[in-house]
């Protein structure tokens, strides 16, 4: 097993999930539930399934498209998201 890849994957996903909507939902459910262990198992299972599906999708994409294309599309997508987040909201007309 590639330990360095494991650590990079763990840290990347862990940091990206901090303060995420899924974490806030787990906090709300855990605080209002009589069984926080079940909330933990459910939310951990959901994160595992989402990660598993993401890895499968990434692997399939890598088989079909060259790495440079995938990285380029990802870079453009993240760039567009960054511009959108920085762009001021336009006032909705009533």
Indicate whether 91 belongs to any domain. Answer: no
Residue 16 is predicted with a pLDDT of 85
Question: How far apart, in Å, are the Cα atoms of 75 and each of 14, 19, 65?
Answer: 21, 23, 15
Indicate whether 94 belongs to any domain. Answer: no
Asked whether 17 and 47 are in contact (CB, 8 A), the reply is yes
Residue 23 is predicted with a pLDDT of 86
Task: Please tell me the total count of domains within the chain.
Answer: 1
Indicate whether 39 belongs to any domain. Answer: yes
Residue 92 is predicted with a pLDDT of 56
Indicate whether 93 belongs to any domain. Answer: no
Indicate whether 80 belongs to any domain. Answer: yes
pLDDT by residue, tens only, the chain of 94 residues: 899 999 999 998 888 888 788 888 999 999 999 999 999 999 999 999 999 999 999 889 888 999 899 889 989 999 999 998 888 776 655 5
Please report which residue ranges of 1-94 form alpha helices under DSSP H: 3-17, 21-32, 36-64, 67-86
pTM: 0.65
Domain that holds residue 11: 3-86
């Amino acid at each position: 097993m590639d330990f360095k890849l494991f650590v990079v994957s763990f840290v990347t996903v862990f940091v990206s999930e901090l303060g995420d909507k899924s974490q806030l939902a787990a906090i709300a459910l855990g605080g209002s539930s009589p069984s926080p262990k079940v909330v933990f198992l459910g939310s951990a299972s959901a994160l595992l399934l989402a990660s598993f599906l993401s890895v499968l999708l990434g692997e399939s994409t890598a088989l079909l498209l060259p790495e440079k294309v995938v990285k380029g599309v990802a870079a453009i997508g993240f760039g567009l998201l960054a511009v959108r987040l920085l762009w001021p909201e336009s006032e909705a007309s009533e």
